[in-house]
Amino acid sequence: MAIYQLTFRADFGVEPMSMPIDAPDETSARAKAGGYIAQALGRPGQLVLLDPRGRFRIGAGFLTPGGSYSLELLDAPVSRVIAP
């Protein structure tokens, strides 16, 4: 598993938050990030849309809250090859 650092800030005045995510790849890390953002902002179980430009939206409505995020790979697993 790799470790990704999720950092996000809501547009409505919440201080930036940061947390590590263990995931096998970036796609899985993004899926987990949406859940973490929803939970941290008091909206567990709601859909969080992450766009590739670093913005997120909670829910699918026009006036839904949003903010900015970044997902950075901190520690990737090292594959080890054992010579015969």
pTM above 0.85, yes or no: no
pLDDT tens for the chain, 84 residues long, are 889 999 999 987 778 999 999 999 999 999 999 999 999 988 898 999 999 899 999 987 777 889 999 999 987 665 555 555
Q: Which two tokens stand for residue 67?
A: 């903010």
Domain ranges (residues) in the chain: 2-75
CA angle 21, 51, 64 (to 5 degrees): 100
Is residue 5 packed enough to be buried (19+ CB in 10 Å), middle (13-18) or exposed (0-12)? Answer: middle
Task: Return the SS3 of 15.
Answer: coil
